[in-house]
Structure 1
Amino acid sequence: MHTVSKEQTSQTVTPFFAPAQWTQTQGTWLEQAPDEAEQQRIEAAAKLLREQRRLALAFHSEPWEAKKFSLELFKRCRLRPIALGR
């Protein structure tokens, strides 16, 4: 069993994720923990992503309808040049 000396326990413990010197992030914005504003932006993006995932799951719950929609989408004027079955 590994034992820890008093000397080791008295040292300041750095969280595992913090040491940027282990990666190439030292001196970049990734070295610092996100501030409150960035945390809010991350939370808002995660919320949007959850909503998009819900919509995608609903869209693909009817596979045939999803395929028909995709085929119709490529028939539109803007996407006609890349349509496969013109």
Structure 2
Amino acid sequence: MNPLLAGLAGRCPNCGEGALFRGFLTVADRCEACNYDLSRADSGDGPAVFVMLIGGFIVAFAALFTEIAYRPPVWVHLVVFLPLTVV
């Protein structure tokens, strides 16, 4: 099994069977199929920062587009984009 293809599929790079992640951005400690140690592949805060940058770019672009195209009052930005930023 190609480890790159297994990783893209979210599977264990050793056997290609077990799940690589136990949560949205959390790498599993061990593969449930082959008991391969996945804890040494800890990525730190990289995935969280990557998701925050993408989400922030989308919300900021939408707020800027809305401001330029429609010129809404400030309360509209607070009601719409503040919850989107939190999510």
Larger radius of gyration: 1
What range describes the TM-score normalised by the shorter chain of this pair? Answer: 0.3 to 0.5
For CA contacts below 8 A with separation 6 or more, give which structure has more relative contact order: 2
Using structure 2 for the length normalisation, give the TM-score: 0.32
